[in-house]
Structure 1
């Protein structure tokens, strides 16, 4: 394997305390409800942070698959926003430090990227990894947002993981990082937010709040959530109005509520995601429901809850 040190530029002048927890969230795949994007934006906009290491986008990023943004102003270009993937030293609301890995998910060199992360973990004697991901699931927005926890921190799995399937899923780069760090014996926890599928293509503030709460559980760090909670309350009001006006959507939400409640009460239902025959809705069925919801949203005169 090529030297993973070639994949990133390290700022040797930054003094990084050893033994800090690492928090990670990468965008680019299955970010249902915009949970990862909103969480990272909240952390970077409210907390002090300094770049420790920057990864080489020309090696890791597929520019033609995910076009960077450039601004055209009348007759000339004024701003270019290059893809960004970096490790930062940040401080929580109480001033306690932690490391934050955020930005795009690498398109290439996953093993090299993973080796680079492990190299940085070893260099700074990282104490644990807590990372976030989100997927669309047939659950109602009227109930607490659930989390599935992976990794080797059994106390977090037992306390927080509401759904523990045995299945095959498309991997992302952080899955590989978790897998390698778990092999190395580092405490790791991956938090997968289970976002209502009919809200999967929106920015759902409650998902970001749940993500920040999960990170707090994994790291002991404290983060501000007041702004996101207020956005979430406004979002839910608009969603509830649309549910009340659309009989088909209302029926869907009530059905999901019944399944969720039965599951949480410990009935014979194996999962809140199954129908009355015990079958999990297919991806096509979930997508069809989402399309109906989005079509209704586009057809209403009201302002949409959030831009898609």
Structure 2
């Protein structure tokens, strides 16, 4: 008898999900320059504490030898086994606004079946928009705003926020396939490609995660607090500046990248970058935004009269 495992398992304790929520997709895999997507997933899981709705099967989708689980060893015995996770969850932003998030590893196998399952979830929950983010290394300086290339069906976002609009072919990711399938279905979908300085691509660059969160805010209106990330980024940039200032070759490279970047942006008819490394709200700004948000909501008496 052939052996088979379901593609995913629905959570028996999943809460009710309102219809019409935005869907956010974050999949690590082929490229993740600056750790943008892994940082985004870590932020969602650690800060927002999402509730799983469906857990995808590692035995079906994951190549264990390519991305091995982590085990913990204590003196003479094993204490923990941590497999990779790919989950569809319900989360809430800093203002309590709900949204759906598909986060985890990029599947190694069964892309078509995976894409169809995600589209079926989107249809069942009647999602309002679909937004995904990934990051690639580019010859750009870290002293300038992080730019984006935006694709999908939301022309307003592409026109406003794409600083680079290439005509090219690239190795596909599962995120590309999902965007294509959502676009074919007529969904409102946007893909943000973050353009990360190539010399920082193999590091954990906090600004990359900030830019990923900022992109989601632009596309969905969700609000995320970024105080800790901003502080980490300030410390990170200080270390980078120390290395650059102490090395003539690095200084010349950075100056050349800045000159090329400034010349390109000065002559470009494309959008100007709005993704900055420090423009997420501070705690005080977030509190003020929350007050404004609550002030626009109907009171309990208004709800009863409606």
Q: Report the TM-score, using the length of structure 1 for normalisation.
A: 0.84
SS in 2 for 1:142: coil
* Cα distance in structure 2, aligned partners of 1:130 and 1:267: 26
* Cα distance in structure 1, aligned partners of 2:46 and 2:72: 22
* Cα distance in structure 1, aligned partners of 2:52 and 2:46: 14
* Cα distance in structure 2, aligned partners of 1:92 and 1:225: 12
* Cα distance in structure 1, aligned partners of 2:49 and 2:122: 21
Cα deviation, residue 72, structure 1: 1.1
Check 1:6–1:253 CA distance in 2 against 1; reply closer, same or farther (3 A cut): same
> Which residue of 1 is the match for residue 194 of structure 2?
193
> Which residue of 2 is the match for residue 8 of structure 1?
8
Cα deviation, residue 267, structure 1: 6.2
* Cα distance in structure 2, aligned partners of 1:28 and 1:172: 8
> Which residue of 1 is the match for residue 279 of structure 2?
none
SS in 2 for 1:180: helix
> Which residue of 1 is the match for residue 245 of structure 2?
244
Cα deviation, residue 11, structure 1: 2.3
* Cα distance in structure 2, aligned partners of 1:191 and 1:230: 24
> What do residues 80-139 of structure 1 show as CA deviations (whole Å, max 9, x unaligned)?
001110000000011010001101100000001001101101111111111110000000
- Structural mapping, 1:85-234, within 5 Å: 85-234=86-235
Cα deviation, residue 6, structure 1: 3.1
* Cα distance in structure 1, aligned partners of 2:45 and 2:198: 27
- Structural mapping, 1:265-284, within 5 Å: 265-266=266-267
> What do residues 129-181 of structure 1 show as CA deviations (whole Å, max 9, x unaligned)?
11110000000001001111111101111111100001000111010000000
* Cα distance in structure 2, aligned partners of 1:10 and 1:125: 17
SS in 1 for 2:126: coil
SS in 1 for 2:26: strand
SS in 1 for 2:223: coil
Cα deviation, residue 48, structure 1: 3.7
Provide the aligned C-alpha RMSD in A: 1.5
Question: Would you identify which runs of 4 or more consecutive aligned residues in structure 1 move more than 3 Å?
Answer: none
* Cα distance in structure 2, aligned partners of 1:44 and 1:226: 17
> What do residues 248-274 of structure 1 show as CA deviations (whole Å, max 9, x unaligned)?
111111000000000111169xxxxxx
SS in 2 for 1:191: strand
SS in 2 for 1:168: coil
The alignment status of 1:70 with 2:78, answered yes or no, reads no
Q: Which runs of 5+ in 2 are unaligned?
A: 270-306
* Cα distance in structure 1, aligned partners of 2:238 and 2:54: 41
Check 1:221–1:111 CA distance in 2 against 1; reply closer, same or farther (3 A cut): same
Q: Which runs of 5+ in 1 are unaligned?
A: 269-308
